[in-house]
Each structure stands twice: as C-alpha cells, then as structure tokens.
Amino acid sequence: MDKLLIRGGRSLQGEVLVSGAKNAALPELCAALLTAEPVTLLNVPQLQDVSTMLKLIRNMGVVAERADDGTVRIDASGLNTPEAPYELVKTMRASVLALGPLLARFGEATVSLPGGCAIGSRPVDQHIKGLAAMGAEIVVEHGYIIAKLPAGWKRLKGARITTDMVTVTGTENFLMAAALAEGETVLENAAQEPEISDLAEMLIAMGAKIEGHGTSRIRIQGVEKLHGCTHRVVADRIEAGTFLCAVAATGGDVVLRHGRADHLDAVIEKLREAGADVQAVEGGIRVKSPGGATLKAQGFRTTEYPGFPTDMQAQFMALNCIAQGTATVTETIFENRFMHVNELVRLGAKIQVDGKVAVIEGVPRLSGATVMATDLRASASLVIAGLVADGETVLDRIYHLDRGYDCMEAKLRGIGADIERVKA
C-alpha cells in the first residue's frame, strides 16, 4: 500500500490548478447512460472513483475512453446489462447513481447496495421512495436494489417527490430518472449543491427540460429521448477548500486557478474570520495567510449547501488544531465523521468528542508521527496536519485519498510542500 511522507514546516507559494469535481463527474458519467448518442465530458479528474465508475459502466456494455487531458468519451448505444455488481460497487457510494438512469433508459436495474463506509450508515431509502413514487417496483434482496417498470409501462411517470431530508445523490437520481419520465416531476426539499446544478446543466444540454436547479424546488418536464452533448465538469469546490485550509495553516500566498469562490462562501467566511486573506481573483481564488499559529480557531456546524460542507469539516478541523483559542465543531450530516480525530491527536492535537460535537483547543505545535487515513476527507486533514507538524509524518492507507484527490502530492509539491509518495 502506498504511503505519503511529509516533512512539515514549509510555507506554500505559487499557483495550483483545481481539477474537475469528483461529485459532479460521477453523476455525469451515469447521466451518459441516458442516451444512445455519444457524450463527451471535459475536465474529468484523474481519480480512483472515476476509474471505478468507468469500469462499472463498461461492464454494462458501454464504450468509455479516457484521455490524459481529462476528456472522457462515452458511447452508451451498446448498453446491454442494467447491472451494477457488488464487486464494482463496494468501494464507492456514488455507484447508486446508476439506478435512476438505468431504470429510465432500460426499464430495469439491479444495483448492489453501496458498500460500507466509515463516515456513517448511509441508507438509500429516500432514493427508493422517490423512484417508487415515479412508479418503479423496487425490492431489496440479497444486498441488491432490484427495480423495474410495472408490466406494460414504457417509461417512469412524473411525480411530486418530497424527501425526508436533503439528499445530494438522491436528488441526482431523481433528476436523471425524471428527465426521461412521462409528464412533470417536482422535487421538493431538493439539494442545492453546485454539483446538482452542474448535472442539471448537462442534462439540459442533452435536451432535458429542467427549471429551478440550485433551489430547493426543481421542476422537470420529462422528454421521450435525450441526445448526446459535450459538457465541462465544474471545478471541485472541496479540493479548492482543502488547498485553502492547507495554505491558511502553513502560511503562504497561493492562487487556486479555476477555483470558484462563489461555491465556497461558508468556508471562505470562516477562513476570513480566522484571519486569512481570501479573495476571488480573475479565474480563481487567492489565499494569503501568516500561518495557522497566528489565526483564530473557528467554530461551525456542517449543513447542506449553502451551509458549511461536511466534506470540509475534517480539513478545517486540522487548521483549528494549531490556531489560537478553542472551537466547537458540530457534524450534523453523518453520524460517524470524526474518524480523523484520533489520528490528529496522535500528532499532538487536543480534541474532545462528545457525539456530534468536537471541541478543539489550539496547540502551539503538532509533531510528526505515523498516522492512518480512515476516509477521504480524514486523509486530507492529516495531510494538512502533516504539512504544519514538526518533523516527519507518514500517512498510511492513502487509497482513501486517491479516491477523491487528483495528484494531491504533486500539486502540493508544486507550491513548495515537502511531500512524497512512497510506493508499496
């Protein structure tokens, strides 16, 4: 298993390129299943999750070619097996995104329940409830979601869907299914994340009729057929936010090329309150920081967009560990998303957890140690902690990091970090 070796203490300077968003690219690869015409996605990040998704759709008879410049060409005219087997699904929650498009295009789908994940139980009951409201007959058996249209039906039927909570991939599944359904679908309590809007824009480019994306009520008028399109994946706000926290913690002056400040309001506001200078600049975001030790720790609660993203909680916590004062962080989205805490404590952080709440007391320094990545964003928080810790930090199990960050160590090296990958 590869490891990262980080020698902390360097400030970061220069320019770094923000890749396309994992959480937009994954649903968009699934959206390509909705048409028999070729789809071209630009700015697709080089990630393990993208490789897994490509494997999954190729296994269904789809032709998908990926070029080094981030272009992926998908031809789903040969889609012949509406199945997502456990072996391909177990490492990636997003594989549940095949459910809506397969049902809509093929009339049936057999999708393994996504594999266990460290951050919480992550049920898919809302996905099932919403698709059932559109007429799908769904059973969960032997670890698989088995869905089909009722006998004699050619298409799903539009419906009003109100989910019990805001769900990102749930909203995406409904959008894709509703795009080809008969009649109107109204999604109430819809997720408003930028990745939802990006998917909606792609579907509109394919001929879908969608209004209200980016708000909590989305209206979709189903069409009989969708066509091919070319779509550019939106920049990854979580990758950008991770670099913002890294620079705030180490100190330095970095421009995040392609970063979207307008997608990161909640995080940027907290960074400014902490004392970092973060500005939207032409084509990106610029962050200047005197270093974490001179910043003030910031409390926050994770909530749905446009609130503070749960996917940034761990990285901001790493910054709080070395900032001045005490901060309270409340995780409201996932019940088990403090797995990084024990590892941060191994580096010298002072953190107490009680249920959903973590209290972080800033310390003057962290000291390098061997730590273990437990999930994707936990890994990113440990990288940030390693960049500021004295001496050497070895980060083990970085396959979690590789799921969602495109060349993270090379990008950090490019702005002055002392970080290298040690191949197994």
Ligand X SMILES: CC(=O)N[C@H]1[C@@H](OP(=O)(O)OP(=O)(O)OC[C@H]2O[C@@H](n3ccc(=O)[nH]c3=O)[C@H](O)[C@@H]2O)O[C@H](CO)[C@@H](O)[C@@H]1O
Ligand Y SMILES: C=C(OP(=O)(O)O)C(=O)O
Residues numbered 385 to 404 that lie near ligand Y (CB under 6 A) are 404
Report the residue from 32, 79, 94, 103 that binds ligand Y according to the rule CB under 6 A.
Answer: 94
For residue 82, the partner it binds in ligand X, ligand Y, none, with Cβ less than 5 to 8 A by kind, is none
Using the minimum distance from each CB to ligand Y, give the nearer residue, 232 or 377. 377
Per-residue binding string, ligand Y, 264-293, x by CB under 6 A, is: ------------------------------
d(CA 252, CA 305): 28
Any contact of residue 26 with ligand X (CB under 6 A)?
yes
d(CA 39, CA 24): 15
State residue 220 phi and psi, 5-degree precision.
-125, 125
Any contact of residue 311 with ligand Y (CB under 6 A)?
yes
Using the minimum distance from each CB to ligand X, give the nearer residue, 254 or 268. 268
- Residue 117 among the catalytic residues: yes
Any contact of residue 78 with ligand X (CB under 6 A)?
no
Residues numbered 322 to 381 that lie near ligand X (CB under 6 A) are 333-334
> Which residue out of 117, 229, 321, 407 is catalytically annotated?
117
For residue 112, the partner it binds in ligand Y, ligand X, none, with Cβ less than 5 to 8 A by kind, is none
Q: Is 93 annotated as a binding residue?
A: yes
Residues numbered 101 to 120 that lie near ligand Y (CB under 6 A) are 117, 119
In the chain, the amino acid numbered 399 is Y
- From the CB of 366, what's the least distance to ligand X, in Å? 26
Whether the bond into 38 is cis, omega within 30 of 0: no
Q: Is 336 annotated as a binding residue?
A: no
Which part of the chain contacts ligand X (CB under 6 A), choosing from 31-39, 83-91, 124-132, 200-208?
124-132
Beta bridge partners of 148: 108, 137
The secondary structure of the chain in percent helix, strand, coil, rounded to multiples of 5, reads 35, 30, 35
Q: Which two tokens stand for residue 81?
A: 């097996």
CB atoms within 10 A of CB 334: 19
Residues numbered 363 to 382 that lie near ligand Y (CB under 6 A) are 376-377
d(CA 6, CA 392): 6
Whether the bond into 306 is cis, omega within 30 of 0: yes
d(CA 114, CA 96): 7
Which part of the chain contacts ligand X (CB under 6 A), choosing from 34-42, 166-174, 197-205, 409-417?
166-174
Using the minimum distance from each CB to ligand X, give the nearer residue, 12 or 199. 199
- From the CB of 385, what's the least distance to ligand X, in Å? 21
d(CA 353, CA 345): 11
Residue ranges of alpha helices (H) inside 65-134 are 86-89, 99-106, 125-133
d(CA 100, CA 50): 18
Using the minimum distance from each CB to ligand Y, give the nearer residue, 222 or 404. 404
CB 93 within 8 A of CB 71: no
- Judged by phi (left if over 0) then psi (alpha if -120 to 50, else beta), residue 135 lies in left
**Residue 259 vs residues 225, 236, 241, 289: alpha-carbon distances, Å:** 34, 7, 9, 17
Residue ranges of alpha helices (H) inside 221-312 are 237-250, 265-274
For residue 125, the partner it binds in ligand Y, ligand X, none, with Cβ less than 5 to 8 A by kind, is ligand X
Per-residue binding string, ligand Y, 199-238, x by CB under 6 A, is: ----------------------------------------
CB atoms within 10 A of CB 125: 12
- From the CB of 119, what's the least distance to ligand Y, in Å? 6
Q: Which two tokens stand for residue 63?
A: 């032709």
Positions in the binding site for ligand Y (CB under 6 A): 23, 93-94, 117, 119, 311, 376-377, 404
Residue ranges for the binding site for phosphoenolpyruvate?
A: 22-23
Which residues define the annotated binding site for UDP-N-acetyl-alpha-D-glucosamine?
93, 122-126, 311, 333
Catalytic residue numbers? 117
Residues of the shown chain interacting with ligand X in the complex, contacts defined by CB under 6 A: 23, 26, 93-94, 120, 122-127, 165, 167-170, 310-311, 333-334
